[in-house]
Amino acid sequence: MNTALSDTAGKLVGGAAQLIMRVGYNGFSYADLAERFGIRKASIHHHFPSKVDLVVAVVEQARAGIRAQIAALEEGSPVAIDQLRFYTGYWERCIKDQSAPFCLAAVLAAELPGLPEEVAVSVRGHFADLGKWLERLLELGVEQGSVRLEASPDVEAQAFMAAVYGAMLAARAFDDPERFNVIVETLFRRIRA
């Protein structure tokens, strides 16, 4: 897939990401994007012939971000606990300012049984990428002496991811961004060496 998007395609991907975070895959259409950006639906189809193509591009853009973080981690030796804090801090800010009130991949994962297979493959890939990155960070944290694990790094990475996504869900369900922080702080107390 060509990751370089034209300005219009980039705006459409960003707009679709925002809509997915708020209303899910089935909750938006090209008509919503056309209205938002003041363009014709045919213009959207020029960039993304189908909604599947657009949503795959949205998820792949998120995956590219995770792969970039993984590459940065492998090139250097950052402080693992700081990287974990950066990750959760990103979500804390996004939830508070509503710029990304919920992870789009999580919204799509909840809809997985009804999604087209191409979208489902990208969503699963997103979680695999994130899980590998978290696993490597947790392993690095153990090596650095800042993290302690009760289970294997891969299991702990899945538990960390589940806690962060559960915290997002709780913040959304109770319309209380602070709930995210309380849950995440509990998570950090559990893994901090």
User: Which token pair is 192?
Assistant: 């901090």
Q: Among 97, 95, 83, 86, which residue's Cα sits nearest to residue 147? A: 83
Tell me the C-alpha distance between 4 and 61, whole Å: 10
Amino acid at 104: L
At residue 101, does pLDDT exceed 50? yes
**pLDDT tens, residue by residue, 58-72:** 999 988 988 887 787
Q: Give the rounded distance of the alpha carbon of 34 from its chain centre.
A: 25
Q: Is the predicted pLDDT of residue 124 greater than 60, yes or no?
A: yes
- What is the torsion angle, in degrees rounded to the nearest 10, for the CA atoms of residue 19, residue 21, residue 22 and residue 28? 40
Segment 69-98 shows an average pLDDT of 85
pLDDT at 78: 81
Q: What is the C-alpha to C-alpha distance for residues 80 and 85, in angstroms, rounded to an integer?
A: 9
Q: What confidence tier does 4 reach under pLDDT thresholds 50, 70, 90?
A: low
SS3 58: helix
Asked whether 140 and 77 are in contact (CB, 8 A), the reply is yes
Give the residue-averaged pLDDT of 66-80: 78
In terms of DSSP H, where are the helices of 24-152? Answer: 30-37, 41-47, 51-75, 80-97, 104-110, 117-144
Output the six-digit token pair for 100: 């990304």
This prediction's pTM: 0.85
How does residue 3 score in pLDDT terms, banded at 50, 70 and 90? very low
Paired with 192 in beta bridges are: 147
Q: What is the pLDDT of residue 1?
A: 43
Lowest mean pLDDT among 97-101, 116-120, 163-167: 97-101
31-60 pLDDT, tens digit per residue, is: 999 999 999 999 999 999 999 999 999 999
d(Cα 191, Cα 149) in Å, to the nearest integer?
6
Cα(39)–Cα(95) distance, rounded to whole angstroms?
29
Mean pLDDT of 84-109: 88
